[in-house]
Amino acid sequence: MFGKLVMCCAVLLLMAAQARAETIEDKVAVCAGCHGEAGKPVDKTIPTIWGQQAGYLYIQLRDFKRGDRKSEIMQPIAAQFERDDMLAIAEYLSQKPWPDLGQPRAAKDVAAKAQSASA
């Protein structure tokens, strides 16, 4: 419970800074609080957004803003953005490299099977 309260307070502080944001870099700075400075989320339950497809990211932001997707953290953040902001944020994040999440690589035989199946 206390952890959620701390996270919400941090998000609210970041939102206040975001409200004054002018550049796209300023607008996405709020994202780093949870999604990570280099695109690596601070917790395994938080999705990776760097390198994700722009259309997917836009739809998620739109759905949070509409209330179609529920999140105590994301709904108030998305509520601040206009459509053009969400499109710009989605495009910006889609151009970032997919982060190294430190996940183990698939065994060579598994990777080879996956590669031959997709060919």
| Successive 10-residue mean pLDDT values, the chain, 119 residues | 54 54 88 94 95 98 98 96 97 96 82 81
Would you say 12 and 80 are in contact if contact means Cβ atoms under 8 Å apart?
no
CATH code given to domain 2-101: 1.10.760.10
Q: How confident is the model at residue 116, as a pLDDT?
A: 85
On whether the pTM is more than 0.85, the answer is no
Tokens of 81: 């953005």
Domain ranges for the chain: 2-101
Q: How confident is the model at residue 102, as a pLDDT?
A: 84
